Every structure is written in C-alpha cells, then in structure tokens.
Structure 1
Amino acid sequence: MEIRTRFAPSPTGYMHIGNLRTALYEYLIAKSEGGKFILRIEDTDQGRLVEGATDVIYNTLKMTGLQHDEGPDVGGPYGPYVQSERMGMYMDYAKELVAKGEAYYCFCTKERLDSLKESNEEGVAFAKYDRHCLGLSAEEVEAKLEAGEPFVIRQKMPDAGTTTFDDVVYGAITVENKELDDQILMKADGYPTYNFANVVDDHLMHITHVVRGSEYLSSTPKYSLLYAAFGWDCPVYVHLPAVMRDAQHKLSKRHGDKSFEDLIKEGYLVDAIMNYIALLGWAPSDNTEIFTLAELEGKFHIGGLSKSPSIFDIKKLTWMNGEYMKAMDAETFFTHAEPKLKEALGEDTQMDLKYIASLLQKRLETLNDIAPLVQSFKELPEYGTELYTHKKMKTNDEIALDSLQASVPVLEAITDWTEENIHNTILDLVAAKGVKNGIIMWPIRTALSGEPTSPGGATELALILGKEESMRRIQKGIAMLTK
C-alpha cells in the first residue's frame, strides 16, 4: 500500500511553528516510505479567510523544500485540491448518511440552540443538542425543506457503548458514546464543517495517515464513527503533542511567539529552523542533532514520535543556526550574507563584501547579527579615548598616540594597498620600535573601528576601509588623543 499523507491548512494567516511541524512530519512519514505528500487547502470556513494567506502557504512549502506531489498548483488524480471547489459532493455524502439513518436534518433556530446552552446546568461548554429534530417524520422533514426553512445536517451518534480508536503516539483511546454530541456535518450556508469535509476528502484522496495536533483527539471518535457510517476504512491517526513556549503555555502568536516568517525576518536560516522543528517531538535513534532534509527522510521513523509536549527553546535554535552558518562553504554563506551586507552598507558600496563575509562567518548566530557588526565600516561611531586603554595589550592614551603617529608615514608610503602589504608594514613598525604586536595593532584597530570589538583586526579593517578612509580615521584618533 502506498503511504499518502496530506497537509491541509486553512488560509487564515501566518504559518505558526506547530503547523509547520505538522507539515514536516507528514512529509517525512510519506517520503521515508517512498509515499506521496499532498497539499489540500481547506477554505470552507469563509469567515476566517485572510487575503494572501494561501500565498504564505505556497511560499513556505517552497522555501522549506517540502515539495508536494499533488495539490492545487500541481494537480493530481484526486482534485480539486481546494475544498471550496469541491462543494457539490459534500451535500451528496451528507444526504447518503441521512438515507442510511446515520444523520438527520435539523431545523432548530439559533435562538432555540442558545436557550439550550443557557438552560444547561453544567455550562455552555458541556451543552449537547437535545435531538429535538431527530423525531421529525419524513413528511415533516420534506415539508420544511419544501418551505425553504434553513437547516443543518447532524451526525446521529450512538446512544450507548463505546468507541475506540488507535493512535500512533497515544495508543488506544476509548470514549463513552453518550458523551458525544450530534455534531453538525453541513452548515446552514451549505458549506461542510471542518470535521465532515476532512473525512470525505481524506477518503476520496486515499489518505493513509492523518497527522494533526493532540487538541483534535477529542474529535477523533466522531471521525471514526463517520468512517464506520460510510463503511470506509479509517486512516492511521498520528496526533502530535503541543509545542510549548514554557511548561504551562502553548506557543501563541497573540503572546508574541514567533511564526516561521518572523524567524526568517530575524535572520534564522530555513534549514536550521526545519532541523530544529524536526526535533520538537521526534528523536532519532542516535544522538545526532544536525540533519539536512534529505538526511531526515532517511532517518525518520514514525516510532520515534513522543507524546510529551516539546518546549520551543529559542536559545537552542540560535545555537543550531550558528552551527549551520559555521559549517557552510564560503560561497553558500555569502549568498545568505550578501543581502544583509548590502542592506547595512548600501547597494552601491565598493567594499569587498565577500571578504567581509569571510570575517563574519564564524562570529554569527543569526544573519541579523551582520548589521551591527559592520555598521562602523559605513560610518565611524562616536567613541571616547578610553577605548585605547587595554590591559592585555598594555596600551594607554600616551602609548596609543605614539603608535598612531608612528603608523601614519609608513602606512601612507604603501602604494599597493593589499592585506599582505598592510600586515607586513605594521609588523615592520612593531620590529622597528621593539614592542609587542598589540602596542601597535590595538590603537590602529581602535582608530579604524571606534568600537571595543570588531570583526577583524587592524590589517583586515584597513583593507576593508581602503587607504584614504583608513588614514582619515587614524588622523581623527590622533586628534582625539592630543586634546
């Protein structure tokens, strides 16, 4: 049997981390077994649709490499893959259940249903429909339909007994049927409910594994009863525990937690994000932590999923992101760093961006660290003479002034401003004065950067800034120290 999974998001906004993790696990379950990964857009809840959200879904899947085998944009044998384009079939399937006695028409008004909730002693959350319309005769139902009365179609739940389903993560779960409400399958606007459309579409698209959050565990008995009512085989259920901000709170955009788009904007790499998300609820058979997507396809096994909630640790992601950047070859890193460098230094900068990137690569945790590290290249910041004093380098204002004044003529004499020539010239000055390297290097580095730390030393900064700007900054340092 071919494994077929589906990612079925609703286009209602950003891609949150839990949703992306679900997509990743669905992809890996399919690909690790040579199966198919399907994209289906679930847009039946028209009131919650957000303009542009479908594009967010497509762009995220493209960026992350979760390439779907079937979907609205690539087609496939079981389309359409957008629920609103499948509307004709849902009512037909609901009426099939009515004919079987597994569902019934309900004509109750909103006012009557609200009164049921108000009169329920256990509170609104526990209110159940009282099956007022279940006893309507076929003639009464037909008359109401002929009169054009608004209706919904409800699933008729068993009155007694239990329903049991097996979940890959949580094992066998049994519920008392008397606790189940007669859920609505078709709404008064003619649209199917989320629960009903899911079951119909998953069956018609031959979905073998349904992956979703553990918050849907309470709805799963209803899904199982729907499959049984139609005489269809249930898929394999895989319910994932929540991704948490901390031990008590789930991740939530409303509370400032990051979406996938937020993380990208904050300078995290797609590959690092996906690697980290893969480990939020799944453990490999060994202690490996760094995986490419292709390696995950080979390593992933559904038995490695955990039932314990996972805490999204931004510090761990940041560490992993830094490891990804350190491990990149220079060209790959530059493709990621170049846009940030141009943003910080200007599109028309004449500085050697590849050289700057090479200095930064081992120092970064995120790509957004680039801008503050190179800001002094564009403009010398205001700084005080205290930066020239350094215990380890054994420098103070007097020593720094002497070193800078001595460096001016020898640096001015360089005709070919290369890294080698700058470095050798400074070392020759060190030898001539009979001092340690830091006595000369630290004051020059400070004058060139105006910062307590910098991505490079005196030689690297001088090369990046160029001869004219380097000499201007050194002269400014001399002027500060002679006041």
Structure 2
Amino acid sequence: MVITRFAPSPTGNLNIGGVRAAIFAYLYARHKKGKFLLRIEDTDKERSKNEYEENIIESLAWLNVSYDSLFHQSEHLERHTSVLKKMIENNTAYVSKEIPTEPGGRTEVIRFKNPNRMVVFNDIVRGDISMDTSDLGDFVIAKSLEEPLFHLAVVVDDWDEGVTHVIRGEDHISNTPRQILLQEAIGAPTPIYAHLPLILGPDRSKLSKRKGAKSITEYRDMGYLPEAIFNYDAFLGWHPGGEEEVFNQTELIERFTLENVQKSGAIFDEVKLAWFNREHIARLSPEAFIEYAKQFLSTETLEALTNANLLEKLVPIMRERIQNFAELRELDTQGEFSYYTTRPSYETERLFWKTDTDPIKTSERLKKTQDILTSIPEDNWCETIVKETLWPYAEEAGRGAVLWPLRYSLSGRDKSPDPFVIASIIGKNETIQRISQAIKQLA
C-alpha cells in the first residue's frame, strides 16, 4: 500500500507554497488508494508553537485535505533515543568531543560514522541522482541522546509509520543521501523519493513570505475558495495534459501522477490564482454562493436583502462582479446593494445624459419609458421582456438618452448593473415608482 506524508514544522503559518507538498502527497496517496499521514515535526522546542500547529491543521481542514493519521515527532523521543543507543553500540554513530564555539557551548554531540561512499537513488521526478557523501564528513545526528536532530528523527519516523513515498521540495535533495545512509545503518527500508520543483516568485527567486507567499488562512479571509487554492496549487509544477485547467478535487485525484511533475521551477502568479478563484466561483450553486456571501456582507445588508427576498435574485449580479468574496464586502461598503431595497435619492444633474441637460426632454423620455414599461403585464416582468419591450424606443431616441436616465432613476448611481437587470429584481411596481420620483425631481 502507498503511504505518503506531509511533515511540516509548526514554526509559522502554512502558506501557499508550503501546502503544495501536502496537496501532491495527498493526491498521490488518494490516487493509489493508499494512506496520507500528517506528522508535526515539533522537536524544535524554541520555535515550535501551538498556534502554528493549529494553523496547519485548520488550513488543511479548510482545503479538505484529510489525513488518515496524525503524529507528533516529539512523542517519539524514546524511540529515537533507543535507535541512537543501538547505533552507538553498533559503531555506526559515536559521541564526539567538541570544542565549544561559544562560552557555555556543547562539548559533546553524536555523529554518524559516514562510510564515505557514493549514494545513488532514483527520483520519480528527476531520474537517477548520485552524490559523493565523503564531502559530508561525519555529520551530527543528535545534540545528545535526548535531542536527536532532523535527519535521524525523519528516518526513524518514516520507517515506523510505513511511509513508502517521500514527496517534498527539491530543496531537500541534498538531505536525501544523508537519510539513505542512516536508513542503511539502522536497517530501515528506503522509500521512493519524488522531489518537487521549487515554487518561484514573479522575479524567479524562491517564493517566500516577503515575495508574496501569503498563508492559507489569509487567502481564506480574502474570500478565496478552498477549491480554487487546491486546484491552483496542484498546477504548481504538475499538469494533467490537455487544455482544461479547472478541476475539482475528485477530478484531480483521478488524473494525478508523479510522472507528470515538471523538473523546472513553477512560477507563482497571483493573477492566475485570481482567475482560478473566479472560475470556481462560477461553478458554485446559488445556495453555496449565498453561504459564502453571508460571511462577507454586513448584517444590515444581509437582513435587508433577505427580508426583501432578493438575495438569490442578486447571485448572478454578485457572481459577475467579483474575483473573490472580499470584493463583495467592498461593494457592500460602497452601497452597491442598498438601492435594491431602499429607494435612492438623486442629484438632478446626474439624470442628464452627457451634454443633454434639458430637464423637459429628459422628463419626457422618462415618461415615455414609464408608459412603455407599464404596458408589460406583471406576470411577464423579467429582464428579457423588459429589454425587448423598451429597446425599440431606445434605438429610436438614442440608447444613452433613454437608458442613462432610467439607470440613474433606478439606482441613484453612476455605476451599476444595466437598468433591465435592476428593474427585473426590484419588480414592476417599484420600477414605475422610481421613474415617477425621478420625473418629479426634474420638475
């Protein structure tokens, strides 16, 4: 059975780059009907924080990256110590006397007895990789029996947890020969390795927080969908082939293979991520869209739209105008939804179309518009019928001269959806009354 793992250190929030390894390991395990493990590597007591561990778990849950087992490396100290003791007994490790590099520094560490040989391993992504380990010397594997370091702890934990495939970033390639030597020394099997390409910023340097690597929870709070983040991250260094790019998690699991992972660096593109988010917003059902919208609309707006039974009617308009749900909050703050439930006030001069500032002509066109719209039966009132009925007059008298005063009459705003949309949402009676109000304003 395939068993993969994601092994983050809880020394910071999980970011868009860091979670890529989790997504690839998860996709591969699920594709192979195997298991995916989460191991919190929390042996760095000074830097490891509970809040960061909570952030990692919260972020994975939000992305729907489910793991089969959760381990904490710190809970395996007794096992690590036992392995260390056996290594010393077997003469594959030894206690080394050290000259302290600073006052009060360590005088002893535990070093691995390096056989100084060439290590060759096959990487699924990169093929055969070889490294002369004689350059490494007898590297330190523990500060003491109670303080094993990264390489030994990882090797022991992967062995004990049955990890068959180690999927991680290419910055770990240099660690692999050390870990293979340790595996051989303690009798552990060597897993299959797949080293993923680095994620690069727009300037092609390694992506970092300073270079735009926001945390997963930051993107969540910005109104990004978990499906979009998951989909985009899956494409950072992998592609299923073909032109299609927008997939849900099930579709990605079906298509994912490590053989299609690229070797060259993957460029993180915020614009492309926003595109993925917009595409996934377009796929949301009206009910799902509303559930997300509720998290970003003000209580007042939400209550007003709900009480007027307008929330579902506004979904197409909201969906069309945003790339993320935080933009919905901005539109709300700007009053973009208030005119659907509250009759607007007007600045008379804003009812005029460009240089046509004659209030009598503007009023006459509004009255003609009102008469035409009044002729539409209540049962037939919808965006399509409103447009089809009014359009011949708009073509005859001038689109701007007819439609601009109507738009402003209905919304009280320079920028808004077209008047046919607004009219269809607020209804025939309210549309007629707002036009009457604008005509009075011009008198």
TM-score range, shorter chain: 0.7 to 0.9
Question: In the alignment, is residue 321 of structure 1 matched against residue 277 of structure 2?
Answer: yes
Kindly state the Cα deviation for residue 15 of structure 1 after the two structures are TM-superposed. Answer: 1.2
Query: Counterpart of 1:156 in structure 2: which amino acid?
Result: K
Determine the structure 2 residue equivalent to 1:155.
112
For 2:69, the equivalent position in structure 1 comes to: 70
Deviates more, 1:298-307 or 1:243-252: 243-252
- Out of 366, 372, 393, the position equivalent to 2:324 is 366
**Aligned: 1:231 with 2:195:** no
With over 3 angstroms needed to count, the CA separation of the structure-2 counterparts of 1:457 and 1:232, relative to structure 1, is same
1:10-61 Cα deviation digits (max 9, x unpaired): 1122111222110011011111111111111110011112332222122222
Which deviations, in whole Å up to 9, do the C-alpha atoms of 1:267-303 show, x marking residues without a partner? 2211111111111111213332111111111111110
Q: TM (normalized to structure 1)? A: 0.78
Aligned-pair CA distance for 1:438: 5.2
The answer as to whether partners of 2:372 and 2:390 remain within 8 angstroms in 1 is: no
Deviates more, 1:333-342 or 1:319-328: 333-342
User: Structure 2 counterpart of 1:203, which letter?
Assistant: W
Paired AA for residue 377 in structure 1: F
Change (3 A) 1:111 1:429: closer
Unaligned runs of 5+ in 1: 72-80, 116-148
Match of 1:389 in 2: 353
| 1:456 to partner: Cα distance | 4.3
Tell me if structure 1 keeps the 8 A contact 2:378–2:428.
no
TM-score norm. by structure 2 comes to 0.84
Alpha carbons 1:32, 1:300 under 8 Å: kept: yes
- What do residues 177-208 of structure 1 show as CA deviations (whole Å, max 9, x unaligned)? 22104332222482321221111000011100
| Farther-moved stretch of structure 1 (169-178 vs 270-279) | 169-178
| Aligned mates of 2:125, 2:61 — CA distance in 1 | 28
- Residue in structure 2 matching 1:87, options 72, 77, 81: 77
Structure 2: stretches of 5+ with no match in the other structure: none
Counterparts of 1:478 and 1:43, CA distance in 2:
71
Q: Tell me if the contact between 1:389 and 1:397 (Cα under 8 Å) persists in the aligned partners.
A: no
How far 1:421 sits from its partner (Å)?
11
Kept in 2, the 8 Å contact 1:449–1:461? The answer is no
- In 1, Cα distance between equivalents of 2:8 and 2:38: 8
Tell me, what secondary structure is at the counterpart of 2:87?
helix
What are the residue-to-residue correspondences of 1:215-226 with 2, within 5 Å? 215-226=171-182
Equivalence for 1:377: 337
Contact 1:441 1:458 in 2 (8 A): no
Coordinate RMSD, CA, aligned: 3.7
Q: Could you tell me how far apart the structure 1 residues matched to 2:431 and 2:213 are?
A: 43
1:108-161, Cα deviation, whole Å (9 max, x unpaired): 25326999xxxxxxxxxxxxxxxxxxxxxxxxxxxxxxxxx9643121223x43
Contact 1:325 1:362 in 2 (8 A): no
1:42 is matched with: 41
Structure 1 residues 451, 428: CA separation in 2 closer, same or farther (over 3 Å shift)?
closer
Q: Residue 454 of structure 1 corresponds to which residue in structure 2?
A: 416
Give 1:472 shift.
6.8
List aligned pairs for 1:107-146, cutoff 5 A.
107-111=97-101
> Do the aligned residues in 1 keep the contact of 2:111 with 2:139 (CA within 8 Å)?
yes
User: Which SS does the other structure have where 2:263 is aligned?
Assistant: coil
Shift of 1:247: 4.2
User: What residue number does 2:96 align with?
Assistant: 106
1:176 and 1:433 mapped to 2: Cα distance?
A: 80
Partner of 1:300 in structure 2? 256
Which whole-Å CA distance do the structure 1 matches of 2:384 and 2:371 have between them?
Answer: 13
Q: 1:51 to 1:204 in 2, by over 3 A?
A: closer
Q: Would you say the 8 A contact 1:356–1:464 is kept in 2?
A: no
Match of 2:295 in 1: 339
1:182 pairs with 2:142: no
Query: What is the distance in 2 between the residues matched to 1:360 and 1:166?
Result: 51
Mapped to 1, the partners of 2:294 and 2:69 lie a distance apart of 35
Task: Look up the equivalent residue of 1:185 and give its one-letter code.
Answer: I
3-state DSSP class of the match of 2:46? helix
What residue number does 1:141 align with? Answer: none
